[in-house]
Amino acid sequence: MKFGHFDDDNREYVITNPATPWPWINYLGNKDFFSLISNTAGGYAFYKDAKFRRLTRYRYNNVPMDSGGRYFYIKDDKTIWSPGWKPCKTKLDQYECRHGMNYTKIKGEKDGVSAEALFFVPLNTHAEVQKLSLTNNTKSSKNLKLFSFTEWALWNAVADMENFQRNFSTGEVEIDGSTLYHKTEYKERRNHFAFYSVNTPIDGYDTDRESFMGLYNGFHEPQVVLEGQAKMSTAHGWSPIASHYIEVDLQPGETKDFIFTLGYVENDEDNKWESKGVINKDKANEIIAKFNTSDKVDAALAELRTYWDDLLSNYTVNTGHEKLDRMVNIWNQYQCMITFCFSRSASFFESGIGRGMGFRDSNQDLIGFVHQIPDRARERIIDIASTQFPDGSCYHQYQPLTKKGNNDIGSGFNDDPMWLILGTTAYIKETGDWSILDEQVPYDNDESLAQPLFHHLTVSFDHVVNNLGPHGLPLIGRADWNDCLNLNCFSRDPNESFQTTENKTEGSKAESLMIAGLFVVYGREYVEVCRKLGKNEEAERAQQHVDNMVRSVKAHGWDGDWFLRAYDFFGNKIGSQENDEGQIFIESNGWCSMAGIGIEDGLVEKALNSVKEKLDCEYGIVLNNPAYTKYYIEYGEISTYPKGYKENAGIFCHNNPWIIIGETILGRGDQAWEYFRKICPAYLEDISELHKTEPYVYAQMIAGKDAFKPGEAKNSWLTGTASWNFYTISQYILGIRPDYDGLIIDPCIPADWRSFEATRKFRGATFKIRVTNPNGVNKGVKRLSIDGEEVEGGNMIPLLPKGHYTVEVELG
Ligand code: BGC
């Protein structure tokens, strides 16, 4: 069952039934000021950091679901309704929500009045702009009462939820004409405030929640709206809100626009006040003035659209497969930008208070994004590397506002350092900017410890080398990529977190085959970087470590039909036929296959065949099998999940691409494509009632074959799935892959695809690429020509001056 449809021309998903199986959301803003908005206008806004600078309040775990947001209430005689259906839930005559690239339009119609609300954060603006257009489609005049509503958060989203003995007394507001200011804590240590403004004189306002709402009323029945009269309340403590009241007369056929601006301002210490106790509003007024007419708002939206035209023009395809094209050209790239901005911090599954930017996550997010805005990727790499320790280990997460490592989570995830090599080399391959390696980058955010970024790659590499276990395989530490495989925890206390509790590494033999494969793949990358820099001795040294690792994996990491997953604390096998449960895992088989370990002896083929046989199901490839059915104290969190969910045999979409890339290395294009399609959201639109999350973005997890409800997804939007799938489809299936000295073209496609076209901008040049497959093969470039000239014996487009080029590629 569908709840809407794609509108590819406008790059929108159009929701036509507001009662989606889960709130289907969108993100506004792509730098500094952000908002989340659901298809019923729920959600919240924040500045830079969802934990420390939360502007508006939102309640997770709420009943009903998705309560709180930016709401408009329209009172038309006795009927009260909202354009987004919620919170009033008055039955609408028409409803439509269009989620586009960083904007959302929600339109409702009731009794001949239509209300269309546009929400977006204009480029380089610290505000969410909302344009509400009210139209009277009837033959008689209408006298409507319009109320806006938003609830302020007291800045720190954690304290906002718990420190009530203080919170209920601190709230402060200021009211100035049509602008309602939130200035809690401004008089002491904060130099920022927020405001909610409308571009018309108002007939009333409220800033105190209980006055507006009525203490025992829900969002759907604010007392003020029921009575049709604002109370002109000023908040003193309790819960400050902002609500405008406007009386709107509409003649038949008439439309009126109202522009609301929800903004954030920071003032310098000596410029904080206009007069004693009165905040300096200059910057707020500037923002308000920038968007106070419909023309200005429309122009800002057009600018945002152009910005996205530009971003998405770097890689476009025409494969003849509508669903694939819309994912590659629009939604997958869009999701990559969103994960780049938010890492795993703020979504309808991530509370915005628990996690900042992940070290491994943000490095992986880069590979789906670097072709769009390389400058921001560069900055990100440096931010991430600055949280590394001199021995190569690193903070698992850092806070976006402070850019400092997060002490609550700490360090010790032994895969983390290797991802820095991925992020950095992906950046250099895209841009050719080798200078990044000379950048002085602090360790542990301490400038006095700064070293060139290249040094960070060396210590990353060496962190694995210096932490090998009894089989010469990498020690796992707290966990590897699979945060839930906690082999050194032995946790008995339900009050402790598997990720942060004491890690009993003393005497541990816990080794990871996943890190082993990862090390071979990115260790080779490191070797290549050294060679390119002429550091041949270092390249030799590193190559030896890589070769040793390959030997160790072959000697101690092969289980007969697939790669083992790990050795536990005591040195027992995990992911082996010897185990009762969890006999085979996806991660080690993915990474050792990507590394091609034992490919010459058929190990990769065998491993991937086993994955197909044991882990594949209707909805994707599950993480492990058989699922764990009891708690294994020596494995940790993985065995706490019910079978089929999350890391315990769920389809963890992030890691499916590792198998897909492995398949392309073997040249099995049909298999690669089948796996790709299974988890690709646009292909799941028809089963939205089961899949549950948005059909336009990937979810972190789909319940696996052992689950109670296979096929049901959770945790959409902020997942490494976005970048890995884009990387896989663009670079390995369609096969257009940036490299240091050119653009490699090496597709691996289903045999029955006869052709496809792509446009790729690369280092200033634009390539129009046409791939034909007359003989129906999966892989193998027979001929490649550029502007009619054949490139001898290769599948690489060399670096070329700026300009447009036509590239013909024939497979066979
Ligand atoms: C985390 C990743 C982790 C994955 C698997 C995700 O929620 O963000 O860092 O690799 O789970 O455990």
What is the pLDDT, as a whole number, of residue 737?
A: 98
pLDDT tens string 623-675: 999 999 999 999 999 999 999 999 999 999 999 999 999 999 999 999 999 99
Alpha helices in 642-693 (DSSP H): 656-666, 669-679, 688-691
> Would you call the peptide bond into 240 cis, given omega within 30 degrees of 0 as the criterion?
no
Look at residue 500 and tell me whether its pLDDT is greater than 90.
no
pLDDT at 290: 98
Residue range 3-32: mean pLDDT, rounded = 97
Half-sphere exposure of 306 (CA within 13 A, CB side): 8
Give the chain's radius of gyration (CA, Å).
28
Average pLDDT over residues 481-493: 96
State the closest ligand 1 atom to the C-alpha of 358, by its place in the atom list counted from 1.
9
| Range picked from 14-18, 27-31, 402-406 for highest mean pLDDT | 14-18
Report how far ligand 1's centroid is from the alpha carbon of 573 (Å). 23
Q: pLDDT band for 776, please (50, 70, 90 cuts).
A: very high
Instruction: Give the ligand 1 atom nearest the CA of 652.
Output: 5
361, 586, 716: which to mutate for ligand 1, most atoms within 8 A of CB?
361
| 677-736: pLDDT as tens digits | 999 999 999 999 999 999 999 999 999 999 999 999 999 999 999 999 999 999 999 999
Mean pLDDT score of the chain: 97
Listed as own residue / partner, the contacts of 540-543 with beta carbons closer than 8 Å and 24 or more positions apart are 542/461
- Is 514 a pocket residue for ligand 1 (Cβ < 6 Å)? no
In short, whether 646's Cβ falls inside 6 Å of ligand 1 is no
Per residue in 599-625, pLDDT (tens digit) is: 999 999 999 999 999 999 999 999 999
Instruction: Check pocket membership of 647 for ligand 1, CB cut-off 6 A.
Output: yes
* pTM as predicted: 0.97
pLDDT for 68-99, tens place per residue? Answer: 999 999 999 999 999 999 999 999 999 999 99
**CB 503 near ligand 1, within 6 Å:** no
pLDDT at 354: 78
| 637 ligand 1 Cβ < 6 A | no
The Cα–Cα gap between 744 and 117 comes to 45
DSSP 52: T
pLDDT of residue 42: 98
Quote the ligand 1 centre to 484 CA distance (angstroms).
8
Q: What does the pLDDT average to over 389-403?
A: 90
Output the CA 260–ligand 1 centroid distance in Å. Answer: 38
Query: Which residues belong to the active site?
Result: 483
User: How far does the centroid of ligand 1 lie from the alpha carbon of residue 640, in Å?
Assistant: 16
Q: Is the CB of 483 under 6 A from ligand 1?
A: yes
Confidence band (pLDDT; 50, 70, 90) for 406?
confident
Establish whether residue 481 lines the binding site of ligand 1, counting it when its CB lies within 6 angstroms of any ligand atom. Answer: yes
Closest residue by CA, ligand 1 atom 9: 361
For residue 755, is pLDDT > 90?
Answer: yes
SS3 label, residue 632: coil
| Confidence tier at 280 by pLDDT (50, 70, 90) | very high
How many whole angstroms from 323 Cα to the centroid of ligand 1? 27
pLDDT at 547: 98
What secondary structure, in 3-state letters, does 134-177 show?
EEECCCCCEEEEEEEEEEEEEECHHHHHHCHHHHHHHCEEEEEC
- Which of 396, 413, 481, 487 best tests ligand 1's pocket when mutated (most atoms within 8 Å of CB)? 481
- Say if CB 151 and CB 68 are below 8 A apart: yes
pLDDT mean over 181-198:
97
Q: Give 499's pLDDT tier (boundaries 50, 70, 90).
A: confident
- Under the banding of pLDDT at 50, 70 and 90, the label for residue 503 is confident
pLDDT at 409: 81
| Average pLDDT estimate for 386-400 | 93
* 601 Cα: distance to centroid of ligand 1 (angstroms): 32
